[in-house]
A and B are shown apart, each in its own frame.
Chain A
Amino acid sequence: MEFFRNVNVDWMGKAKYFVALSLVLLIGGWVSIFAHGGLQYGIDFRGGTLVYVRFAGPAPIDQIRKALSEAGLQNTSIQGISGVANPNSKNDVVIGLERKGQADDTALDSGKEAILGALTKTFGTDTGGKPDFNSASNVQVAAYLTQRDPLVLGPTAGDRYTQLAQKLVASRDADHGGIITNFPQLAGVDAASPAVIASLQNGFSLGSFAIRSAEIVGPKVGAQLRRQAIYATLYALAGMLIYIAFRFEWVFGAAAVIAVFHDVLITLGLFSVFHYEISLTVIAALLTLVGYSMNDTIVIFDRVRENSRLMRREPLPEIVNRSINQTLSRTILTSGLTFLTVLVLYLMGGEVLRSFSFAMVVGVVIGTYSSFGIAAPIVVAWHKFHPNTGAAGATPGRNLATARR
């Protein structure tokens, strides 16, 4: 089976369309960024509180919003989670609380407590003073069971109840997604006899929501992380530039780095258009995309290097065209498969990886395109305007052939 054979496209002849396309994407994305008042950073870069809550039923977003504003919380964001692969996702909601300015950081977790308090006030059921089983730890459950001794084990109990509590809590977390709506749901756990279930029902209430995760970042740390991420990116780019300049010619290195920059800028623009936030994991994705796009560019440049040795009399644009056409089959295959991989990740990878895989899905497409649409034309254009820089004379690119082989 084979998709491409003897392709003959004049890629360099179409360079101006590519440049136009890139400009449209760049300007479009950055207009959106400015319209939104800058890049939307995640809590980890901005400082603030992010609480991920699961409700027993579909999350009542309007009521949550009302509860938060009644509690006097401003700058909150409430985001429902929609997932293709996760049936429970309608019940989940992420509540963000931004830390405006340099609020006093003595009480870093006051935001989390405030959100919790507001939710409890609105959605808390009358518990009659009973602790909430959905937020109980296994130690709490074990202490309760040991005290009540529903299996009538007496002094022979040993750590039986501790183990049972672990199993019950594990079942709540793993089988029921961290929240149960009635105690008989736990009947599947071994040793959870009706007596145990009844005893739990007596001693515990069931809250209608549970905290799945909480992230709190002080403003100073946020700024520090942002700086660190930017430096890591710049160092990584510089490292790659040096390596490519060493393996090829400096203009190739520069072209590759410009192309990669172009990819990152467009991806950031699309992040703004689709309302995704830039978090630490997204930075990881951007750096991966940098590596990926670089990878693609190098495959083409490698071929250009090889071909400029074989085709000494041909002009550079012709050599580049030929190289892109020869590697096209590989480019489409690899990009296609990587695209499939990250698409699966995007659809099935869960909420936490969503913005990461979005960056990758976009990045694979843009990164592939920039190799022939941006990086290669830059090399060609540079050699067109500086025909005599090559050591080997009239044929641009020939110095490549003699340089490193």
Chain B
Amino acid sequence: MTSQLKWKFIIIFTVVVVCLFGMFGRPEVPTSGAAIKQNFVNNIKLGLDLRGGSHLVLQVQLEEAIGMRCDQAIDLLTKQLREKNVGVGEISRVDDTHILVHEVTPVTSGIFRDIVSNQFTDWSLAAAAGEASGYLLTLKPSVISELRQQTMDQALETINRRINALGLSEPTIAFTGRSDDEILVQLPGEGDPTRAKAVIQAGGQLELQRVADERTYTSEADALSNHGGVLPPGTMLVPGRSESAAPNTPSSTVWYVLDRSPIVTGQDLRNASTSPNSERPGQYQVNFNLSTAAAARFGPFTEQQSQLPVKGRMAIVLDHQVYSAPEIEGRIDDTGRIEGNFSQETANDLALVLRAGALPASIKYLEEDTVGPSLGADSIREGVRASIGSLIVVMIFLVIYYRLSGINAVVALVLNLIILVAFMAMSGAVLTLPGIAGVVLTIGMGVDSNVLVFERIREEVRNGKANVTAVDVGFDRAFLTIIDTHITTLVSACFLFLFGSGPVKGFAITLVIGLLANLFTSIYVSRAIFDWHLSRMERQAHLSI
């Protein structure tokens, strides 16, 4: 054996050892057969389609967050202008990012401009088209994009906290990268995501608001007509369930007139827990505690309200829905409760959502893909069986057709698979069902490379070349073809990886790794074995091909 050939085998041997270690030797060096198997199972990351689980794609309604910013600006602007005695007509909302201020009194327009440019730095001010004394406020594009990013980050964080609180194992929560308002949630092992979905989607926005009007109304129109068409300043209408309704009757909606600015919001919560409802057996309630700062506001407020001739009422509003509006009996410092038709599980989930914080905007589900664990197990079994089945068929054929050289091809194929699987294990790439199909295809490409080389060597032998020359020329000629075919397929596999989604990506990963491994085995390893064989045989002996 020449020293060059010796080096080739040392390199090949090293690759094999590293690969076997990567598959079986990590994370701890195994000492028993069971440990080897366990290492292998731990090292190969299976996709949801193989291990079972739920894949959810949800969309954050970013316009809501922007719209909310617009509403806040209108509220603040109205207040500021009133304080500074700036005379304006109507302040109207054009859309989520535009506010139109009508008829600013000319004398005070200087003060108006000052207020806007000093305190509303997120907005740019311009004269309104077609109105002599009107102004248009536009939310700056830089602020919009910052707000979108902030909302997405906050949504991701909130969902993360909620999922972790649910105690599901190894969840993935990430941006999809497909569109800037989508979040991907993967819950391995979760065969029925109904509960997780409800928890993720819950708004969780808690507000305690003072009830501004003793009465409740059966419709919005009813409430408006009772106030002469316009609500009292600083109040809003919020729907809720009628409290007088018996527990099991279909709930009728009633409307409350509440103070616009809440006394306490979800951000003031320190903790939330559940307990059985003492008055309604079988139902549960959610209890919450306020932070010290909020308690310092809440205590005096409740004390004052309870001492009024007609005791004040406090509405507990969750996601813009009044849950209850009890009378304030006395001073309350830092506790409260939410009552409703809750079972133990729904109450637990609500407490969890309150603890994890509110979503900055509501979300919609775009996609759900759930694979039960039993189907995943079937797919693994069938996929592996198909791969091994086809591998055996191909190997038997190669040995029959090419005899000793066929064994060479079989070695190259097996090594190809070892490298492929080891790379999957070491890189942490996820094996999916289409990924198994990619493995099968890699087998096909590996066979092709060997067939190309062998057919070429046969041709050269037929043309009367000596064994060494025939092998040399065969590999040389086939080399170019193999490179061309592999690069073309690699090009398409790379595009698949870059532009494809989910399952297509899984397929591209194994294909790319397989193709690269194949270049190594069919050109380098196969050649080394041929050279070794040639160096041991008689010059005139017949080449077994």
Interface residues of A (CB under 8 A from B): 1-2, 5, 52, 54, 85-86, 105-106, 108-109, 112, 135, 137, 169-170, 172-174, 177-179, 210-218, 220-221, 224-225, 228-229, 231-232, 235-237, 239-240, 243-244, 247, 280-281, 283-285, 287-288, 290-292, 294-295, 298-299, 302-303, 306, 326-327, 329-330, 333-334, 337-338, 340-342, 344-345, 347-350, 352-353, 356-357, 360
Contact of B496 among A211, A287, A349 (CB under 8 A): A287
Complex alpha-carbon distance, A218 and B366, angstroms:
5
Counting chain A CB atoms within 10 Å of each CB, the highest count among B369, B492, B500, B504 belongs to B492
**Does B501 lie within 8 Å of A108, measured CB to CB?**
no
Q: Which chain B residues numbered 498 to 517 have a C-beta less than 8 Å away from chain A?
A: 498-504, 507-508, 511
Contact of A173 among B366, B373, B394, B484 (CB under 8 A): B373
Provide the residues of chain B in CB contact with A235, threshold 8 Å.
Answer: 495, 498-499
Provide the residues of chain B in CB contact with A302, threshold 8 Å.
Answer: 480-481, 484
**Does B394 lie within 8 Å of A337, measured CB to CB?**
yes
Known: A105-B364, A214-B368. 14 other contacts (CB 8 A): A54-B374, A232-B500, A243-B488, A290-B492, A291-B492, A292-B444, A294-B488, A295-B445, A298-B488, A299-B452, A330-B451, A333-B451, A337-B394, A350-B379
- Nearest chain A CB to B37's CB is how many angstroms away? 16
Q: Residue on A with the closest CB to B378?
A: A350
Q: A178-B372, A281-B503, A341-B444 are in contact. Are A291 and B489 (CB under 8 A)?
A: yes
**Does B192 lie within 8 Å of A295, measured CB to CB?**
no
Q: A348-B385, A353-B433 are in contact. Are A298 and B492 (CB under 8 A)?
A: no
Q: A212-B372, A216-B368, A306-B477 are in contact. Are A240 and B491 (CB under 8 A)?
A: yes
**Does A281 lie within 8 Å of B192, measured CB to CB?**
no
- Nearest chain B CB to A284's CB is how many angstroms away? 4
22 A-B interface contacts by CB (under 8 A): A2-B458, A52-B375, A109-B368, A173-B373, A211-B191, A213-B369, A213-B372, A221-B57, A228-B499, A235-B499, A240-B492, A243-B491, A280-B504, A283-B504, A284-B503, A287-B504, A294-B489, A337-B397, A338-B444, A340-B394, A349-B382, A356-B437
Q: In this assembly, does B319 line the interface, its C-beta being within 8 Å of a C-beta of chain A? A: no
Q: In this assembly, does B13 line the interface, its C-beta being within 8 Å of a C-beta of chain A? A: no
Provide the residues of chain B in CB contact with A178, threshold 8 Å.
Answer: 372-375
Q: A135-B192, A340-B393 are in contact. Are A352 and B49 (CB under 8 A)?
A: yes
Complex alpha-carbon distance, A1 and B179, angstroms:
56
Q: A235-B495, A235-B499 are in contact. Are A326 and B383 (CB under 8 A)?
A: no
Complex alpha-carbon distance, A353 and B403, angstroms:
33
Provide the residues of chain A in CB contact with B441, threshold 8 Å.
Answer: 288, 292, 341, 360
Provide the residues of chain B in CB contact with A352, threshold 8 Å.
Answer: 49, 375, 379, 433
**Does A109 lie within 8 Å of B197, measured CB to CB?**
yes
Complex alpha-carbon distance, A290 and B447, angstroms:
18
Interface residues on B, range: 35 or more
Contact of A210 among B372, B389, B394, B493 (CB under 8 A): B372
Complex alpha-carbon distance, A85 and B384, angstroms:
13
Q: In this assembly, does B440 line the interface, its C-beta being within 8 Å of a C-beta of chain A? A: yes
Q: In this assembly, does B149 line the interface, its C-beta being within 8 Å of a C-beta of chain A? A: no
**Does B504 lie within 8 Å of A109, measured CB to CB?**
no
Q: Which chain B residues numbered 34 to 59 have a C-beta less than 8 Å away from chain A?
A: 49, 52, 57
Q: A108-B368, A232-B504, A280-B503 are in contact. Are A298 and B378 (CB under 8 A)?
A: no
Complex alpha-carbon distance, A240 and B487, angstroms:
9
Per-position 1/0 for B398-412, Cβ under 8 A of A: 001111000000000
**Does B401 lie within 8 Å of A1, measured CB to CB?**
yes
Identify the 6 closest CB pairs spanning chains A and B, nearest first.
Answer: A178-B374, A350-B382, A173-B374, A232-B499, A236-B492, A236-B495
Provide the residues of chain B in CB contact with A344, threshold 8 Å.
Answer: 386, 389-390, 393
Contact of A216 among B369, B377, B440 (CB under 8 A): B369
Q: Which chain B residues numbered 58 to 90 have a C-beta less than 8 Å away from chain A?
A: none
**Does A330 lie within 8 Å of B433, measured CB to CB?**
no
**Does A86 lie within 8 Å of B369, measured CB to CB?**
no
Contact of B367 among A172, A216, A240 (CB under 8 A): A216
Q: Residue on A with the closest CB to B489?
A: A291
Q: Residue on B with the closest CB to A340?
A: B393
